Amino acid sequence: MIFLFLFLNFQQLKACHVLIGLYVLSEDELNAMLPEGLPTGMLGEFKDSMRYALLVRQSFLDIRDNFRRIVDPSLQSTNGPKIRKQIVLDGPLCCGKSITLAMLVHWAREEGWLVLYVPRGREWTHGGYFYKNPQTGLWDTPLQAENVLKDFIKYNESHLRELPCQILDPIPLGEGAGVGLLKGVDSKEISEGSTLFDLVQMGINQMHASVGVVVRLRKELSLVKDIPVLIAIDQYNNWFTFSEYEEPVTIRSTRPVHARELAMVNAFRSMMHNDMMVGAFSHSTAVGKLRKDLPHVPVDARINLPRYSPDEAATVCHYYLRQRLVSREVFSEENWKKVYYLANGNGAEMRMLVPLMH
């Protein structure tokens, strides 16, 4: 069998409809497009195959086309697939949920969309400083807020400088990490003519405003009309379980704080709105089994990403052969199929097994 590899650049990927190809990137370009950080599965793939290339899967193209149809209704047809503005990517361990999400963010940014990408949603519920805000009854995590804001301006500052703030109510101030409240001031004004960049900058420079700014940013994102906005959250499942934080109840006992009690999670978790949002589950960071119907998530939002199909498996195995993860002498159709069935279509496992062919 002869295998033709299609190494696609972005323009070709845009035109790509129903083929299995490998999307080639450069390290610099990838870091520039996803400055918030890359999913670990993607880094493992690049390291082992010694090339910045990703399999373009049909499931990715379907999700991309779903969002493309939302912003360009001329692509919609009455008997086409149902369009969903909110999607939860689920599926077996290592089936490529995080990579699919990252590729979607990459695509949306190339299209000029405004994307809030959170590659590690688990960090919103773990570590750092936390305290209960008496004004909201929710728990504030100012260090996390600052990191999220810093990440958000990394990709394209000038984008944010062009978008005016539409809510001019003052931002409530909370405690700074470990330094308590500010004396004598409990809110910060947003001056007329401020942009989203100014808003985010305020949250970064003024520690006491950071959580308030993240919460406000969520509202502002709903109000952006000039460009499409996508909210993309990896490790989204961590927002439906208990956080790492505990509230002292008596001298000897504590109560675990649920993720929904955290101000930032509370602001961003819901999918019951009209905004475009994708959350990817990460079963490697899961704490327990989640119920089928998630609170504040539309029932039909969940999409199961399949393991590799035989065609996809054939493509990646031949690609690994080309990249010399395995030698020609031992590579055979029988052998790669064995790997496929042994790994049960799990991409990361196949990559581990291919070099072991003999």
Instruction: Give the binding site for ligand NAG (CB under 6 A).
Output: 156, 158-159, 162
Nearer to ligand NAG, 199 or 343 (CB): 199
For the record, the structure tokens of 50 come out as 């010694």
For the record, the structure tokens of 178 come out as 């470990």
**Distance of closest approach, residue 310 Cβ to ligand NAG, in angstroms:** 38
Helices marked H in the chain — which ranges?
10-15, 27-33, 40-49, 58-71, 97-110, 142-154, 157-161, 196-205, 210-223, 263-268, 310-322, 333-343, 347-353
Provide the β-strand partners of residue 21. 56
119, with CB counted inside 10 A (0-12, 13-18, 19+), is buried
Helices marked H in 224-309 — which ranges?
263-268
**Distance of closest approach, residue 22 Cβ to ligand NAG, in angstroms:** 24
For the record, the structure tokens of 15 come out as 């035109």
Distances (CA, A) of 108 to 40, 53, 151, 199: 21, 18, 17, 23
Say if CB 97 and CB 89 are below 8 A apart. yes
**Distance of closest approach, residue 320 Cβ to ligand NAG, in angstroms:** 33
Nearer to ligand NAG, 113 or 242 (CB): 113
Nearer to ligand NAG, 84 or 159 (CB): 159
**Distance of closest approach, residue 161 Cβ to ligand NAG, in angstroms:** 8
**Distance of closest approach, residue 3 Cβ to ligand NAG, in angstroms:** 34
Nearer to ligand NAG, 156 or 323 (CB): 156
For the record, the structure tokens of 43 come out as 């880094």
Nearer to ligand NAG, 154 or 338 (CB): 154
**Distance of closest approach, residue 276 Cβ to ligand NAG, in angstroms:** 18
**Distance of closest approach, residue 229 Cβ to ligand NAG, in angstroms:** 13
Say if CB 228 and CB 113 are below 8 A apart. yes
Nearer to ligand NAG, 38 or 160 (CB): 160
Distances (CA, A) of 348 to 97, 257, 326: 12, 34, 15
**Distance of closest approach, residue 200 Cβ to ligand NAG, in angstroms:** 15
**Distance of closest approach, residue 114 Cβ to ligand NAG, in angstroms:** 9
Nearer to ligand NAG, 78 or 158 (CB): 158
189, with CB counted inside 10 A (0-12, 13-18, 19+), is exposed
Q: What is the 8-class DSSP label of residue 338?
A: H
Nearer to ligand NAG, 156 or 270 (CB): 156
Nearer to ligand NAG, 114 or 207 (CB): 114
Nearer to ligand NAG, 40 or 194 (CB): 194
Backbone CA torsion sign across 107, 82, 273, 279: negative
Measured CA to CA, the distance from residue 268 to residue 251 in angstroms comes to 33
Degrees to nearest 5, angle at CA 246 with 242 and 250 = 135
Measured CA to CA, the distance from residue 239 to residue 120 in angstroms comes to 11
Say if CB 301 and CB 87 are below 8 A apart. yes
**Distance of closest approach, residue 30 Cβ to ligand NAG, in angstroms:** 14
